[in-house]
């Protein structure tokens, strides 16, 4: 487990690089504009992470 403070996208990118991750799995629940597809955090992670990202829609 890892707990860090900061912008989620930035910290997820940094941690994924640090641990040489093959895959980042995250929940998403976007509601506005392009965020309808993923959510702003999931979208930010997707567009900056060097490894694969699996976004799983949560909630309703």
> In 3D, which of 48, 49, 50, 27 has the Cα closest to residue 38?
27
Residues forming beta bridges with residue 23, ordered by sequence position? 52
pLDDT at position 39? 72
pTM score: 0.76
Is residue 51 within 8 Å of residue 12, measured between CB atoms?
no
- 52 pLDDT above the threshold of 80: yes
End-to-end Cα, the chain, rounded Å: 27
* 1 vs 37 pLDDT, higher one: 1
- Domains contained in the chain, CATH given: 8-57 (3.40.50.620)
Quote the tokens at residue 3: 């707990």
């Amino acid at each position: 487990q890892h707990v860090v403070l900061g912008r989620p996208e930035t910290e997820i990118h940094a941690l994924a690089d640090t641990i040489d991750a093959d895959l980042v799995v995250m929940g998403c629940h976007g509601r506005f504009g392009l965020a309808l597809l993923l959510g702003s955090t999931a979208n930010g992670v997707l567009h900056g992470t060097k490894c694969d990202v699996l976004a799983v829609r949560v909630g309703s």
